[in-house]
Structure 1
Amino acid sequence: MTASPFDQSRYQLRFDWGRDGLTRLAPADVVVVVDVLRFSSTVSARVAGGETVAHDEAAHAVSRNGAAVASAAAATGAVVFLGSLRNATAVAKAVLAEQNRRAARTSVSIIAAGELNGPGDAAVLRFSVEDQLGAGAVFAALEAIGLDHSSPEAAAASEAFRGLRSAVRHLLTASGSGQELLDAGRRDEVLAAAVHDADETVPVLHDGVWRAYEAINAE
């Protein structure tokens, strides 16, 4: 099968958007799903607090989009992590641990969930600044520990986070998604999602449940 010019297969670190982006990229060993407002941040905080979170329950209560990307990623056989601003460095460490466990070069696709506008199958994926920054934070953390064979798309996301890191709180509250949540009385959730490296735990999808990656490895 001929490689697509858009599958980023020549790179270890890859980046795209939504379920279509996941399909567009070459299959990866690890997929990190980033849905900052609110799927990744909410589940990450709950798992960091010692909970296990049923995927279907979180999908229904928090986000149909990020959850759908995670389900599609799991169907490929990849290890599926949830990444966000809150746990970016922890995700990078988990990716490195996974590579060490495999004792082989590990390919990583980071998928920004974006936002879906419209009903059902007619919904259109919208760019979301919070997911761009969340993905960039994970890429920057991966590069900091030496995993830096990045596609141009991944490198651009990383540099976006680096350049805007000091403004992340403002950007999340001022973004369309942030404003929508502020209008719904969820300001505290937006502010919590904007905290960089607040959590040291990485949710991994295992048998339909989000659990701490460290707990899975301890079994």
Structure 2
Amino acid sequence: MTDFTQSRYQLRFDWGVAGLRRLGPSDVVVVVDVLRFSSTVSARVAAGETVPHDESAHAVSLNGAAVASAAAEQGAVVMLGSLRNAAAVAAAVLVEQSARGARTSVNIVAAGELSGREPGAELRFAVEDQLGAGAVLAALEARGVDHSSPEAAAASEAFRGLRGAVRHLLTACGSGQELLAEGKRDEVIAAATIDADDAVPVLRDGVWSRA
């Protein structure tokens, strides 16, 4: 075990597949890929759909899908979190903890953005995923699940401090600007809407369905 597993804490936070593996096993993994994997699948599940992982997930985000696949291989309960469903994710984690009858460890993993699609592409910081992860962490802490690692605490405080500027930040950030240039402004605005969905996508047998 290294100092970077954050294993002494209930809530942990890191980036990408490498970060997921660095954190080590947990009971629940929440994958946050705000533009557009988590937000798109969350909205579809909230509308009553079930979403095949390979069909839609890879179409909108290869890196978010890769984190989810790696988390499923670890045997964790895999959820998708975003700005759109942060409160619902926190509620679902509490339900999972109640069902287990014991403290439930939660890895929050921000997907980040890849520099390209080729093998070995570098992962870069994505402010939208920082904010989305922070929203989920803040919602958990507000419900009393607050044994947070320093990394998780910093993410939640970043969201709290910038909550009022989320829409501007998502449209102004690099990923948002790319989508705006493709005529997808409505998707960016939708992704910036806090707690618009009451559904939490959970990955079961290769399909995203409502928790």
Q: TM-score range by the shorter chain?
A: over 0.9
Per-residue deviation, 1:120? 2.3
Per-residue deviation, 1:119? 3.4
Distance (Å, rounded) in 1 between the aligned partners of 2:91 and 2:168: 27
Which amino acid is 1:142 matched to? Answer: L
Which amino acid is 1:201 matched to? Answer: A
Aligned to 1:200: 198
Please give the TM-score of this superposition, normalised by the length of structure 2.
0.99
Aligned to 1:166: 164
Aligned to 1:217: none
Residue among 162, 178, 186 paired with 1:180: 178
Please give the TM-score of this superposition, normalised by the length of structure 1.
0.95
Which amino acid is 1:145 matched to? Answer: R
Which amino acid is 1:108 matched to? Answer: V
Which amino acid is 1:33 matched to? Answer: V
Distance (Å, rounded) in 1 between the aligned partners of 2:198 and 2:58: 25
| 2:121 counterpart of 1:123 | yes
Per-residue deviation, 1:121? 1.7
Alignment of 1:39-188 (within 5 A): 39-188=37-186
Per-residue deviation, 1:111? 0.2
Which amino acid is 1:99 matched to? Answer: Q
Q: Deviations over 1:4-35 (max 9, x none)?
A: 10000000000000000000002100000000
Per-residue deviation, 1:122? 2.1
Percentage identity across paired residues of the two chains = 77
Distance (Å, rounded) in 1 between the aligned partners of 2:44 and 2:193: 15
Distance (Å, rounded) in 2 between the aligned partners of 1:47 and 1:59: 13
Per-residue deviation, 1:58? 1.3
User: What RMSD, in angstroms, separates the aligned Cα atoms of the two structures?
Assistant: 0.6
Distance (Å, rounded) in 1 between the aligned partners of 2:31 and 2:7: 18
Unaligned runs of 5+ in 2: none
Distance (Å, rounded) in 2 between the aligned partners of 1:133 and 1:157: 7
Per-residue deviation, 1:61? 1.8
Which amino acid is 1:109 matched to? Answer: N
Distance (Å, rounded) in 2 between the aligned partners of 1:138 and 1:59: 20
Give the count of matched residue pairs: 211
Name the SS of the counterpart of 1:122 in structure 2: coil
Which aligned runs of 4 or more in structure 1 are off by greater than 2 angstroms?
none
Name the SS of the counterpart of 1:161 in structure 2: helix
